[in-house]
Structure 1
Amino acid sequence: METLPSLTHDLVSISSHDDEAAAGEYILTWLREHTNARVSRDDHGNVIARKGHGDDSLALVGHHDVVPPDESQVDADGEYVIEERNGRLYGRGAADMKGCVAAAMLAFRDADPASELVFASFVGEEQGGVGCQAAIEDGFAPDYAVVGEGSTGYSAPGVTDVAVAHKGRRGSTIVAEGAAAHASEPDAGTNAIYRATDAVDVVRDLDFPSTTVLGHEMNGSVAATEIDGGSAWNVIPERCAVTVDERTVPDERAPLDRVEAIDGVSWRVDQDLPPMACGDADFAERVLDAATAAQDATPEHVVKPHATDAGWLAQAGTDCVVVGAAEPGEAHTADESVSLTVVERCRNVYERVAESWPSE
């Protein structure tokens, strides 16, 4: 019988930063060989499997794409470098999030579900959740989901918590238009940089969005992060652009459109990754019970700062929580790794939830 460490090792070794096809094929083949589930890979590359029956469906959700590896994570032949030491597996994608994809695969195989159980591993999460969005557009709509992104180490080091909410991200651009002139005659033109700085003053004075989810306060943020304007030291600039990073919370957005009250200033949204809030307190408690039973420590409901595919699912009507092995600051690093003990813990949590939810 295949072990979780070996399955994790196999998944992490498959290159999937430029093309997810090989990783998707591996997952598809494994599920068909090791389960009697209804397994498919859609036109986008998402792998989805279903078993069991019931009025409600529970999905175990992950993604098998990764960000580009650091040069130290690739050998001379272009293969991913994998190393296991001190109970941790090192390699690109180990933490984010092939370890928990493997955990979900084994939990899906072994669970005797209380209702319909779905396994889903999406493509394109690192490109803004394009695979998840496409699946939703095609009708993917589980009632509940446990998303295997990182939730370990939030309440205390080493504790695998249950995230009941996470922030989203809205990236936008403020564009100020003016009129060029020679810098020796500034009144002959209209300085786009001055208009842009007026817009930045508006951004600076905005209140940060905030809300409460299951008793947990969530605070967003708004910040100007880049500025690009001007063409030469002696030319009044005719254009200036300012990038704004906004960390959003459920049902709240900062009123950035106020900058358009300034002459010559426009505002556009470039990316809007939705936040997530679990709307079913009973489901959140049941998952916390499973997390408590799976470890000696006492996990808590927490709020996660990073956007995940749970945001897209929640926006479409799925009640989500996030439970995963990755720790804060672990993903996307040159020494990315995951604790194999914690990956096994997550497998335990997933299987417990699958067999106990929904309760009769």
Structure 2
Amino acid sequence: MELDLALSAGDLTRALVDVPSVSGDEATLATAVEKALRAAGGDDGSGAGGAGAAGGLEVLRDGDAVLARTNRGLPSRVLLAGHLDTVPVAANLPSRLDGTRLYGCGTSDMKAGVAVMLRLAAAAGEGAATRHDVTWVFYDNEEVAADRNGLRRITSGHRDWLQADLAILMEPTGGEIEAGCQGTVRVVATTRGRRAHSARSWLGDNAIHRAGELLTRLAAYQPRSVTLDGCTYREGLSAVRIDGGVAGNVIPDECRVTVNFRFAPDRDVPAALDHVAQVLDGFELSVEDSARGALPGLSAPAAAAFVAATARTPAAKFGWTDVARFAELGIPALNYGPGDPNLAHTRDEYVELALIDEAERVLRSYLLS
């Protein structure tokens, strides 16, 4: 397939949405993105052409990730990042247009943002002047386990491509700036008892009943709110899964409760785990997953300049995003995209066309002269 980067951002979003790209199956879309970028002033893969002072793009394919950048010798560099994959389709393809809304899998999360990125890359590739050198990163496998994330692979194999003064992750934010992100840890609390026949329950010790105290603690838990750089992060400690039971006539001897702690970025992972251990003191705990959050970083000059240029008031990002990966690299990073985060992963996912156009206008004004 071929992508026409001359389409409006809304029409290009629709074209992207109509190419299914569930995590692990991004190859078709990645190839289309690569071809479009090479055609829009990029090299053809043979080493000819590419980025230069007047225009053009250097293009790199890594697995099912595609990267492009200008190399004009400008004193600053801005990186735009967006993932190509979506969650599984939920009978919401092909896309459909209903008035000012475009419905379909990935419309908000985050093919609308990808469309804006492609439009800007096309303009730069065709010679439009830029205020900064710009890097575009279109990556795979964001919606699945962290060890499959394409951005992680790029960090390992092509670290130089991620160097920037500011990274803008085009996650859905409703057209607002969301700074930093929460960290997350997931632990499994196990309660143990003694198995018995349910007709003689007094001979057993019910592990599911023992989990009652744990659930009571979680229900009574009072999360804190933390304000950093003017952004207020709300924490949460929640049971998200419970497993237990052997059969309909057996007193269970084991029950497992999965607990997720979403924590403010002033804590690191060890501190978050210590807090969970304090709240659930006395229970057997094992760590299933963890990821540090990212501080807002709004005092960094490049981030402050973007906030000033957009005239938006930053808010805290609820949830974990790949801004944390850039923060680990020492690169200030913000979330900014046209989609609605509350619609991500839903059956009725949609994006407002006006927000796509607004995101393109804002970024075009910030990046292009």
Distance in 2 between residues matched to 1:141 and 1:172, nearest whole Å: 34
Please state how far the C-alpha of 1:325 moved relative to its aligned partner: 0.9
Deviation at 1:14, TM superposition (A): 0.6
Q: Aligned-pair distance for 1:206? A: 5.0
Q: How does 1:115-264 map to 2 (within 5 A)?
A: 115-129=132-146, 130-138=149-157, 139=159, 140-152=162-174, 160-183=175-198, 189-204=204-219, 207-232=222-247, 234-252=249-267, 253=272, 255-258=275-278, 261-262=281-282
Deviations 1:303-332 (A, max 9, x none): 232322223322332211111111242222
Q: Partners in 2 of 1:353 and 1:128 — Cα distance?
A: 33
Overall identity of the aligned pairs, in %: 27
Q: How many residues align?
A: 333
Return 336-345 or 200-209, whichever deviates more.
Answer: 200-209
User: Offset at 1:33?
Assistant: 0.5
Query: Any idea what SS the aligned residue of 1:166 has?
Result: coil
Shift in alpha-carbon separation, 1:261–1:345, aligned structure 2, 3 A? closer
Deviates more, 1:17-26 or 1:128-137: 128-137
Distance 2:286 2:266 in 1: 19
SS at match of 2:265: coil
Match of 1:272 among 264, 277, 290: 290
**Is the deviation greater in 197-206 or in 9-18?**
197-206
Q: What's 1:92 paired with?
A: 105
Q: 1:7 aligns with which of 9, 12, 20?
A: 12
CA drift at 1:189: 4.9
Shift in Å, 1:205:
5.6
2:59 touches 2:66 (CA, 8 Å); kept in 1? yes
Match of 1:340 in 2: 353
Q: What residue identity is the alignment partner of 2:234? A: N
Whole-Å separation in 2 of the counterparts to 1:2 and 1:235: 63
Range with bigger deviation, 201-210 or 267-276: 201-210
1:108–1:351: 8 Å Cα contact kept in structure 2? no
Q: In the TM superposition, what whole-angstrom CA distance separates every residue of 1:85-105 from its partner, at most 9, and x where no partner exists? A: 423322211111111111012
Amino acid at match of 2:36: W
Matched with 2:53 is none
| Letter of the 1:124 counterpart | N
User: Given the alignment of the two structures, is residue 83 of structure 1 paired with residue 83 of structure 2, yes or no?
Assistant: no
- Secondary structure, aligned partner of 1:10: helix
What amino acid sits opposite 2:10 in the alignment? P
Name stretches of at least 5 consecutive residues in structure 1 with no aligned partner.
74-79, 153-159, 293-298
Residue 316 (1) aligns with residue 332 (2): no
| 8 Å Cα contact 2:303/2:332 also seen in 1 | no
Residue 116 (structure 1) shift: 3.0
Between stretches 334-343 and 26-35, larger displacement belongs to 334-343
Residues 219-245 of structure 1 deviation map (CA, whole Å, 9 limit, x = unaligned): 110012332223245533211100112
User: How much has 1:177 moved relative to structure 2?
Assistant: 2.9
